[in-house]
Structure 1
Amino acid sequence: MARSPYPRSDRDLISRIGRSAGGRAGYKQLIRELGLGGGRERRLLLEQLTRMVARGELLRVDQEMWAVPRPDPDGTTPARPTGEAYPGRKVRTSRSGPGMWAGFEETQRSGRDRLVSGRLDLHRDGFGFVRAEKDSGASGATGDIFIPPNEINGAMQGDQVLVDEAPPARDGRRSGRIARVLTRRNPTIVGIFRYARAGGRRGNWDTPGIHENVVHPIDERLGGPIVIPAGAEVVTHAEDSPHRTLGDEARAAGWETDSRWPLEGLAVDVEVTAFPSAGKPARGRVIEVLGPPDAFGVDVEIVIRKHHIPHTFPAHVLAEARERAEYGPGTLDPEEQELREDFRGLPIVTIDGETARDFDDAVLVRPLANGHTELQVHIADVSDYVLVGSLLDTEARMRGTSVYFPDRAVPMLPHELSSGMCSLLPNEDRLVLSCIMEIDARGDIVAYRLAEGIIRSVRRCTYTTVQHCLNAGELRGSHEHAQRVIPEPSAEDLAERERIGLEHPYLPAAFDAMLELALRLNAKRVRRGSIDFDLPEPIVQFDPDGNMKAIVRSERGWSHRLIEEFMLSANECVAHWLEAQGIPSIYRIHETPDPKRVVEFEETASQFGQSLGIGNLPVKKFTMKSDRRESRSNSARGRDTRAPQQHEVPEAIPVTPQMYQKLVRRISGHAEERILAYLMLRSLKQARYAEKNEGHFALASPAYTHFTSPIRRYPDLIVHRLLRAMLRSDADPEGAPILGSEPQPWGGKSFEKPRIEDNGPMSVQELEDIASESSQSERRAADAERELIEWKKMKFMADKIGDDFQAVILSVTKYGFFVELHEMFIEGLVPITSLVGDHYTFRDTDRTIVGARTGHVFDLGQRVEVVLDRIDRQQRRLQFALLPGTEPIANTGAPAPGMRRGKSEAKKAKSASGGKSRKTKDRTAKKKGSRKKR
């Protein structure tokens, strides 16, 4: 019999055994039928059979015989093997008990204990890890489960899978195999199309064994190419697939293509018609042509589809949006108007960016007779237009959030609402939900109330205009804190303040009052322990032709920060109020950092002489994955047989936001500020939505939610619905004072929460589902936005290969060190193999790279001069090399002025180093060095 490739699927084995005589098959029979060769294949078969027995998919009749379980008459449980069930084969039993079946039941039970569900995260090299959602294993092991390449079993990146976990290793490592794919996460895949050529060659790639058209996924973690059968490369017409539309930029491009191979090298979106299985690649059909990957606008289209972001509104959703937009404030009946407070006539303004199109918040600050200040925050009442269970509601929940790219946005709601009836446009009546706060001299909220209302904003202000007015304001001369945060006014500042004063005489003074209140609120948050890293963010600038011209630091002046302070206060008020009602709600939570991450950060911070100040605590020991990998690698090479390094972690670290805040203040303005702030941020957990209030660690807030952006965030819309439902059920609209000294749910402090009853407008289960979906949508949007920025950076650096830059080392690994270019927010790798002049190795004890002969050390925070060596477009990675003749500068942070010297100066450096080009010289040195080592 011809040999068949192994491994076989579980289904194939069950089918083969079931077709055998008596529904059973022996070990030798299976070896013969499967055409297995040496010991490895036979061992894999035995392991597979053992796993299937453990899961109850097969019965082991005796030492070398397996059978398919037969159901009891009621069809619910497998029948125990008996002589009658399997004639001609005796089943060993015991007079004193159930015998072999008892052992089987125990094995089956332990097998169920080892089945774990989770999300698969694949590596480009084929292996993967599953982050378990709910560990039910008897071992109680924690951590990700390693899946070797030969146990992936057709699963793809991001799939929800069921893992058959192996018994834990001695060092606690978890591993297993994919038993089943529960949910496919990639119904469509974006990639580069390649036609079949003679001999199996397709474009610039070789795909042995496949002689059809293929699409190579842009995300290499999705595995090998997707086969496109003949005829499936034809894009369906728009009327056949109304949910798919070709991007406007791509459609208008008019690319030049080869008439024989019109799709060759183009980015396409593929619908998977058959997912991969053992030995068989995935198959699909092209449903959309996006265009050349490097063409303008195509990168956005690729990222949108790669992350499965819904980007077109169905016709029936648009129709409903137009219909709902007709029901403005003027159409309210008298009873509805009675329920809303009239704020029209007050000097309420919106403050947003220059390019903003949806204005969902408006503010007013005014003094009170008792010396306190009133802050009014008015938020667009989207819940009045997006009704529960409507088409708009379903679409908004599926999207979860708006997604913002440098040159376009994918909104959560159609523009008829997001930029129209729900947007707080100036001089237009709009429905709002309002939070009216009374704030004392210390910044404490001594009283607040919530209300449904109607406003008419008087002006649409921008951050730039407000910042000019603040710079030229009177507060700077009389307020000590304002003197520190507001710069000296320029002529432009003075002129802009005068112009605004002529148009609206009360606004300049109103902006000063906003700044004074924001400073008070910020001081209260600082006293409470709120963490403010104030890390700069990159802003991509384009020229009139749409080409990227620069990546600059985002400006975050007090015109931005005062709105942030106002929105934070409103969100806290709403969270406290909803929790006090005793009903389930949605909260924005940020949990206490993981102890392991805190210890890792402390180890790094100690290299700079800094610490969170946790102190000595009772500890438990653990080994990190990197240590275990290093130990196994050394052992395999015969270098070192020592056990993995052990780390000590306190049983419970009483870490508080105040510890982080104090460290942020200590390092402010120092050389290590950038790198330590970056590492501190990584040590914290990711904020998420939850139906249970856990507090917000970074804000040092006992209760926090999202209420202020219902146009672009679905959880805010849910909070609005809960708020309106309770207000209309005669709940007291006033809330208790929110003081900066109230207890917080971390650091071992006592904290008593109100009792929550599951009898509110929405059930706990429904809110839990929405919170989970919204957190996933938020991460999807953040990943897409981050990836596009990286894509833009690659294009921006494309013509700078050979240029040299000043950079700072952000992280060090055994593969090399990652650097960030000064003032450019661009990162890249300097491979350890590119370091010449010495034999460099990674020292795991302090995570540095050290030269064996010279003793040169590459460490976090060091300044280096690098040359852009190459660009990996597929992985969107930049690879740098050290500038010849330079060494790392220790104990430094921000590089000296002069972001890059340019090609002319780089050529001078090359000439001074011996006349050869940098690349030729470096490669020659590496070859010589490698010969000496060998």
Structure 2
Amino acid sequence: MPLRYRHKGTPGKPSTTAHGTSLAGRLTCHRDGYGFVIPEEPFPQARGDIYIGPHAMGSAMHGDRVLVSGIRIGRAGRAEGRIQRVLERAQTTVVGEYRWSPHGSFVVPYDNRIQHHILILPEEPGGPAKGRAGQRPASDRRELAKELAKELDGFVVNVEIVGFPSATQSATGRILEVLGKRDEFGVDVEIIIRKHHLPHEFPRDVLWEASAIPAGISPEETARRRDFRELPIVTIDGETARDFDDAVTVFPLPNGHFELQVHIADVSHYVRPGTPLDREARLRGTSVYFPDRAIPMLPPELSSGICSLKPQEDRLVLSVLMEIGHHGEILRAEFCEGVIRSAERMTYTAVNAVLENDPAMRERYAPLVPHFERMRDLALILNKKRRKMGAIDFDLPEPVIEFDESGTMIGISRLERNIAHRLIEEFMLAANEAVARHLEEGGVASLYRIHEKPDPMKVMEFEEIAGTFGYSLGLGPLPVRRFSMGRRGQHPGRRQQTVELPAGDLAITPRHYQQLTDKIAGKPEERILSYLMLRSLKQACYREMNAGHFALALPCYTHFTSPIRRYPDLIVHRILRAVLAGVAEEDRAAAVGDVVTGKKRRKPSSATAPSPPHKPRSIPDPVSKTELEEIGIESSEAERRAADAERELIEWKQARFMRERLGEEFDALITSVGKFGFFVELLEFFVEGIVPIETLTDQRYVFQEQQRQWAGERTRRRFRIGDRLRVRLDRIGEMGGKMAFSVVG
């Protein structure tokens, strides 16, 4: 029998007195009406989030900070409760479709996690008639408002909520923007921007500050920096890249080692702490990239102007100079402020053509060919070293949306990765690792990119599915705890379900994943097992405390190489610049001491001599740990928000593309199985949809949860994860474009 608690205590921290418990957390809703609350404070009695049933939601909406009470804990540790009250509203605006009715118009939110319709009163100030009724009598204004409201039927609008829902009253709102008809070009992007609450317009003070930044570099600034302008440094990006924040080159050293130079746009020189530019960049957290447009973190004067490493233009950079040995080890790393002049704006396609011995491309870039070949050689060495350490590398297909000149989507293809992609990836990983190690060894508070070990429950679930294919991560028998679970009110004599949960931590390493990816390479099940392995891992995030990076098999890692589009990188730049300035100050002080004592400081005998043993310096933290913690949380949330928006827009584009293919048949792969059917992904178009179980009419099917399959009662026909089958596209939903298929044959 589950334990029962009643509310008592302060919001935020759980109270487990005799009168019960209550806690605060953030509500995540599901389109079917239920939700989960993520507690703000640890709640040891419960495993994971707290389930909130549809009838226990009250007036809460998706994203609200709420107080949960009436918590019940099941034997498996799953918690269930009800929302006592809303502590803080998350939604102040809602985007949706305007529906006219003579009895009262309303807006249907595009976010299906918001179950409440927003009632729009025509006579409300700010309603559809605002600004168009002039000084007419009230009765005339109401009539005109009704006519204008009727004209808006079916339009997409952005609404400000002026009255939140209650047990007896609907939510009310006023129209802020009319975005157009849903199928008009570009409206889908506007919907996604507002649905995910992406900041997309720069305030005036931000634009003014950006416009005041000089378009050139002063001679004084150039003179105080290290000059790399005569070196064959290049940027390598995609054909449609909008900003260039990294440039690279590789030189051979006399001892046979490599010198890898990674030069990153010095955004921190232009965006100073506490300025309007800085506050807006922190609010956005990251640039957001859609197939046909981008929402930059910084105004264009910086993102595609003075900060972008354009060819044949002087640009300020923070540089990482690394000596790399024959086996990929970083033997020495030097950091400095520099100035570069990129020799070429290269693309992945062009560099790959050079390395594939394309005569025309090798002739066109003849002076750079030896450098590209060295880059390739070094990238292969670095990749071999990472694999030796156990780093995981999933080669999952990534869809690319293709458009014609008018902006109409014409196809979906797979992004092809080549050696040029690998080259830049390896160089950026090396630079990020070098910076992270330097700051951690210096004892300076910094921001880290961490990736924790996977949750034991997720690993156990993956092992069960992989076992049906004859594969395993190689962990051996997993320690588990078993529980007998029965439904509430179930007769004591009826058979109870046995639930298994992991017992304690698992001795899992990234090498377990790497070895399995090697085993399945080229096999029919590679795609589905790689996808499931990725789902078993946790999401990487930003944190002020270093916890290592599981997937990269690195004890220390950060993000440094993309300050134009990621706020954490900008923060790491500021910290590194402060450390460099502090070191220079200490060196100047030491030089004065040398003059006084008459002692001479010996320099290394060669440029390749290893750095002296590190000793902590007395440099105060450039950014406090408290602020770093806040930035880490904000940036992680901004990253997830941007990823969700980018993914959803692609799904909308795919749905629009597939509308012309209703009734057609496709080859598909089952990616997951649930109680209402199973999900499939089309092999050709990377499009996902559901096969509802009611469409399987040849016989009755039973859902076998432990085997994660649907099995026919009359025949041996089964539908399991990883199965390939032929499906027909039956329908595409209006809201969000969810697709439904049926099995053919």
| TM-based fold match above 0.5 | yes
The alpha-carbon distance between structure 1 residues 691 and 838, as it changes in their structure 2 partners (threshold 3 A), is: same
Residue of structure 2 equivalent to 1:730: 583
Match of 2:426 among 552, 555, 565: 565
Distance in 1 between residues matched to 2:156 and 2:77, nearest whole Å: 43
- CA distance 1:797–1:231, change in 2 (3 Å): same
2-side partners of 1:648 and 1:347: how far apart? 57
User: In 2 relative to 1, CA 164–348 (structure 1 residues): closer, same or farther, beyond 3 Å?
Assistant: same
Read off the aligned partner of 1:495 and give its amino acid letter.
Answer: A
Cα shift at 1:260: 7.1
- The within-5 A match list for 1:135-174 is 135-136=42-43, 140-174=45-79
SS of residue in 2 equivalent to 1:175: strand
Partner of 1:219: 111
After TM superposition, list the pairs within 5 Å mapping 1:277-426 onto structure 2: 277-326=166-215, 328-329=216-217, 331=218, 333=220, 336-337=221-222, 339-426=224-311
Partner of 1:166: helix, strand, or coil?
strand
Query: Helix, strand or coil for the counterpart of 2:497?
Result: coil
Match of 1:114 in 2: 21
When residues 802 and 576 of structure 1 are mapped into structure 2, their CA distance, relative to the original with a 3 A threshold, is same
Structure 1 residue 229 corresponds to structure 2 residue 121? yes
Aligned pair partner of 1:719 in 572, 578, 582: 572
**What SS does the aligned partner of 2:380 have?**
helix
Q: TM-score, normalised by structure 2?
A: 0.90
Match of 1:465 among 350, 355, 361: 350
Rounded to whole Å, the distance in 1 between the matches of 2:736 and 2:292 is 22
1:442, 1:51 → 2: CA distance? 62
Aligned: 1:265 with 2:183: no
Matches within 5 A, 1:689-708: 689-708=542-561
Q: For the residues of structure 2 that align with 1:839 and 1:581, how far apart are their CA atoms?
A: 66
Residue 340 of structure 2, aligned match among 440, 450, 455: 455
Cα distance change, pair 260–811 in 1 and its aligned pair in 2 (3 A):
closer
SS in 1 for 2:498: coil
Name the amino acid aligned to 2:33: G
2:639 is the counterpart of 1:775: no
C-alpha separation in 2, matches of 1:409 and 1:457: 24
**Aligned CA distance change for structure 1 residues 56 and 318 (closer, same or farther; 3 Å):** closer
SS for the counterpart of 1:879 is strand
CA distance in 2: counterparts of 1:435 and 1:188, whole angstroms: 44
Paired residues for 1:450-849 under 5 Å: 450-472=335-357, 493-501=358-366, 506-621=367-482, 632=487, 641-730=494-583, 759-849=620-710
- What is the letter of the counterpart of residue 855 of structure 1? R
Q: Could you tell me which amino acid in structure 2 is paired with residue 661 of structure 1? A: Q
Contact residue 758 and residue 764 of structure 1 kept, 8 A: no
Give the direction of change, closer, same or farther, for the CA distance of 1:297–1:600 in structure 2 (3 Å limit): same
Deviation at 1:498, TM superposition (A): 2.1
Letter in 1 for 2:53: P
Counterpart AA for 2:288: V
What is the CA deviation profile of residues 415-445 of structure 1, one whole-angstrom value per residue up to 9, with x for unaligned ones?
A: 0010000011111111100000001111111
- Please say if residues 434 and 450 of structure 1, whose CA atoms lie closer than 8 Å, have aligned partners that are also in contact: yes
Question: In structure 1, what is the equivalent of residue 37 of structure 2?
Answer: 130
Distance, in Å, in 1 between the alignment partners of 2:290 and 2:372 is 30
**Equivalence for 2:590:** none
> Given that residues 482 and 498 in structure 2 are in contact (C-alpha distance below 8 angstroms), is that contact kept between their aligned partners in structure 1?
no
Superposition deviation, residue 343 in structure 1: 0.8
Q: Is the 8 A contact 1:794 1:873 kept in 2?
A: no
Deviations 1:170-215 (A, max 9, x none): 4533122222322221110001101122xxxxxxxxxxxxx32110
- Per the alignment, residue 95 of structure 1 pairs with none
Q: 1:109: Cα distance to partner? A: 6.5
> Matched residue of 2:322: which SS?
strand
Residue 645 of structure 1: how far off its partner (Å): 2.5
Count of aligned positions: 700
Counterpart Cα distance in 2 of 1:874 and 1:727: 53
Kindly tell me: are residues 177 and 260 of structure 1, through their superposed partners in 2, closer, same or farther at Cα, counting changes over 3 Å? closer
Distance 1:278 1:612 in 2: 50
**For the residues of structure 1 that align with 2:536 and 2:619, how far apart are their CA atoms?**
35
The amino acid of 1:142's aligned partner reads R
Secondary structure at 1:676's aligned position in 2?
A: helix
Q: Which amino acid aligns with 2:162?
A: T
* Aligned-pair CA distance for 1:758: 10
**Conservation of the 8 A alpha-carbon contact between 1:583 and 1:757:** no
Match of 2:529, as an amino acid? L
Shift of 1:237: 7.6
Gap runs ≥5 in structure 1:
1-46, 58-106, 198-210, 239-257, 473-492, 736-752, 887-934
Question: What CA distance in whole angstroms lies between the structure 1 residues aligned with 2:294 and 2:205?
Answer: 21
Measure, in 2, the Cα distance between the counterparts of 1:362 and 1:312. 29
C-alpha distance in structure 2 between counterparts of 1:720 and 1:222, whole Å: 40
In structure 1, C-alpha distance between the alignment counterparts of 2:260 and 2:16, rounded to whole Å: 61
Contact 2:6 2:22 in 1 (8 A): no
Query: What is the letter of the counterpart of residue 824 of structure 1?
Result: F
Secondary structure, in 3 states, of the residue corresponding to 1:582? Answer: coil
Deviation at 1:151, TM superposition (A): 2.6
1:757 to 1:167, Cα distance in 2 relative to 1, 3 A: farther
Of all paired residues, the percent bearing the same amino acid is 53
2:611 corresponds in structure 1 to none
Quick check: 1:189–1:305 contact (8 Å CA) kept in 2? yes
1:584–1:758 Cα contact (<8 Å) kept: no
In 2, Cα distance between equivalents of 1:170 and 1:587 = 37
For the 8 Å contact 1:435–1:450, the answer to whether it is kept is yes
Structure 1 counterpart of 2:705, one-letter code: D
Structure 1 residues 640 and 569, CA gap change in structure 2 (3 angstroms): farther
Gaps (5+ residues) in structure 2? 133-146, 588-602, 605-613
**Do the aligned residues in 1 keep the contact of 2:317 with 2:339 (CA within 8 Å)?**
yes
Is the Cα–Cα contact under 8 Å of residues 814 and 841 in structure 1 kept in the other structure?
Answer: no
| Aligned-residue offset at 1:495 | 2.1
Distance apart, 1:815 and its partner CA: 1.1
Partner SS for 1:772: helix
Distance 1:56 1:827 in 2: 44
- For the residues of structure 1 that align with 2:470 and 2:159, how far apart are their CA atoms? 53
Distance in 1 (alpha carbons) for counterparts of 2:75 and 2:190: 47
Helix, strand or coil at the partner of 1:222: coil
- Residue 193 (structure 1) aligned with residue 98 (structure 2): yes
Residues 141 and 260 of structure 1: CA distance in aligned 2, closer, same or farther (over 3 Å): closer
- Inter-partner Cα distance in structure 1 for 2:727 and 2:32: 28
Change (3 A) 1:653 1:161: same
Q: Deviations over 1:82-107 (max 9, x none)?
A: xxxxxxxxxxxxxxxxxxxxxxxxx9
Is the partner of 2:582 in helix, strand or coil? coil
**Secondary structure class of the residue paired with 2:365:** helix
The residue that corresponds to 1:921 in the other structure is: none
Higher-strand-fraction structure: 2
- CA deviations 1:493-546 (Å, max 9, x no partner) are 322222222xxxx21121111101100000000000000001110000011121
In 1, Cα distance between equivalents of 2:325 and 2:551: 24
Query: 1:456, CA displacement in angstroms?
Result: 0.8
1:672 is matched by which residue type in structure 2? E
Given that 1:353 and 1:462 are in contact with CA atoms closer than 8 Å, whether structure 2 keeps it comes out as: yes
- Residue identity in the other structure for 2:541: R
Separation of aligned partners in 2, 1:803 and 1:416: 47
Answer with 580-589 or 644-653: which moved more.
644-653
